């Protein structure tokens, strides 16, 4: 879920669909829109020599897409053994229950309401299905339940909607909170600086090959927007919709409802920090 299309100076992405790294393949869901970019990326993650695969974000409830994911795994000689969710937004999670039925596999997510089976998902968990190593990184901010998955062997991180392949993400107020989001971006930056992560495998848009650049761009963009919102308030724009019109004048109007959520999150952040 994006609140701005590609921005000047933003690092450009590469692979959109198909194999991205040695262990990760994207099956693009047929749900493109202004807010979902090219559609939802459904990731199949597997050790090259294993016959078991983990699927991240089955995507919308679209039987054709869900069967295409299973087919892509089968063509690679793999059986889906586990489904993970980066967060509960319907474009990522709506198809999860049906996918679990088709594959007879559990679904793990931070939000207990989205789980199928006994196991949850959260900070410190490591997914080891079929010998893979995928570390769960809590990244609240886009939503309260957002998670990223660090794939150290591929120097990659699956980011859901926390970092997108193009444009910027919505801080979906009131569930999403800006202070949490900035902390999460800093956590991702430390993965790129301290843990060698180079590739962003996002929930929408192309793969990014400069993970650190992408995260730095997001942090700078958020700081810019925050300063713009502060200025707009100082100039007498009070309501969130007025602030959107002032600050998001450069963004397509179809994204203004999403931008308004981000603005509400920014106004809350500025109030909490005594800045307005
Ligand atoms: Zn989302």
Q: What is the pLDDT of residues 194-223, one digit of tens each?
A: 999 999 999 999 999 999 999 999 999 999
- 52 half-sphere exposure, CB direction, 13 A CA radius: 12
Cα of 87 to ligand 1 centre, how many Å? 7
Distances (CA, A) of 47 to 30, 70, 75: 26, 16, 15
Cα of 86 to ligand 1 centre, how many Å? 9
pLDDT above 90 for 12 = no
What are the structure tokens assigned to 65, written together? 């897409």
pLDDT band for position 16 (50/70/90)? confident
pLDDT of residue 237: 93
- Return the minimum-mean-pLDDT range out of 13-22, 86-95, 123-132, 204-213: 13-22
Cα of 139 to ligand 1 centre, how many Å? 12
> CB within 5 A of ion ligand 1: which residues?
1, 89, 161
CB under 8 A, 24+ apart: contacts of 96-103: 96/58, 98/58, 98/61, 98/63, 98/66, 99/55, 99/58, 99/66, 99/69, 102/66, 102/67, 102/70, 103/55, 103/70, 103/79
In the DSSP assignment, the letter for residue 94 is: T
Cα of 51 to ligand 1 centre, how many Å? 30
pLDDT band for position 238 (50/70/90)? confident
Cα of 47 to ligand 1 centre, how many Å? 27
Q: Whole-number mean pLDDT of the chain?
A: 95
pLDDT above 80 for 13 = no
pLDDT per position as a tens digit, 21-40: 999 999 999 999 888 989 99
Cα of 77 to ligand 1 centre, how many Å? 31
- 20 half-sphere exposure, CB direction, 13 A CA radius: 34
What are the structure tokens assigned to 183, written together? 């902390």
pLDDT band for position 17 (50/70/90)? confident
Cα of 1 to ligand 1 centre, how many Å? 5
In the DSSP assignment, the letter for residue 203 is: S
Cα of 142 to ligand 1 centre, how many Å? 7
pLDDT of residue 232: 96
- Cα–Cα distance, 82 to 173 (Å, whole number): 30
What are the structure tokens assigned to 203, written together? 């929930």
Cα of 241 to ligand 1 centre, how many Å? 21
pTM of this structure: 0.94
pLDDT of residue 215: 97
Cα of 53 to ligand 1 centre, how many Å? 23
pLDDT above 70 for 8 = no
Cα of 166 to ligand 1 centre, how many Å? 14
Cα of 41 to ligand 1 centre, how many Å? 12
- Cα–Cα distance, 22 to 13 (Å, whole number): 18
Cα of 210 to ligand 1 centre, how many Å? 22
Instruction: Classify domain 18-212 at the CATH topology level.
Output: Metallo-beta-lactamase; Chain A (3.60.15)
Cα of 204 to ligand 1 centre, how many Å? 9
User: What would you report as the CA-atom Rg of the chain, rounded to the nearest whole angstrom?
Assistant: 18
- 25 half-sphere exposure, CB direction, 13 A CA radius: 20
Average pLDDT on 34-50 reads 95
Cα of 236 to ligand 1 centre, how many Å? 31
pLDDT per position as a tens digit, 252-276: 899 999 999 999 999 999 999 999 8
pLDDT of residue 165: 94
């Amino acid at each position: 879920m994006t609140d701005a299309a590609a921005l000047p100076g933003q690092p450009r992405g590469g692979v959109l669909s198909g194999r991205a790294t040695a262990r990760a393949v994207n099956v693009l869901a047929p749900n493109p829109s202004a807010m979902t970019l090219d559609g939802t990326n459904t990731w199949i993650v597997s050790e090259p020599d294993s016959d078991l695969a983990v699927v991240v974000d089955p995507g919308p409830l679209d039987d054709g897409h869900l069967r295409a994911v299973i087919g892509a795994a089968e063509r690679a000689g793999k059986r889906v053994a586990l489904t993970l969710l980066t967060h509960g937004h319907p474009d990522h999670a709506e198809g999860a229950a049906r996918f679990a039925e088709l594959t007879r596999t559990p679904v793990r997510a931070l939000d207990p309401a989205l789980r199928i089976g006994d196991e949850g998902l959260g900070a410190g968990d490591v997914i080891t299905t079929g010998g893979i190593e995928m570390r769960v990184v809590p990244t609240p901010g886009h939503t309260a339940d957002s998670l990223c998955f660090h794939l150290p062997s591929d120097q990659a991180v699956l980011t859901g909607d926390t970092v997108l392949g193009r444009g910027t993400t919505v801080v979906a107020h009131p569930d999403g909170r800006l202070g949490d989001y900035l902390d999460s971006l800093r956590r991702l930056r430390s993965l790129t600086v301290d843990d060698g992560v180079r590739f962003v495998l996002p929930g929408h848009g192309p793969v990014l090959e400069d993970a650190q650049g992408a995260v730095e761009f997001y942090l700078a963009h958020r700081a810019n927007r925050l300063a713009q919102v502060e200025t707009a308030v100082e100039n007498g724009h009070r309501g969130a919709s007025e602030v959107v019109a002032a600050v998001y004048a450069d963004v397509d109007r179809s994204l203004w409802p999403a931008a308004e959520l981000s603005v509400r999150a920014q106004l809350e952040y500025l109030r909490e920090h005594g800045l307005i």
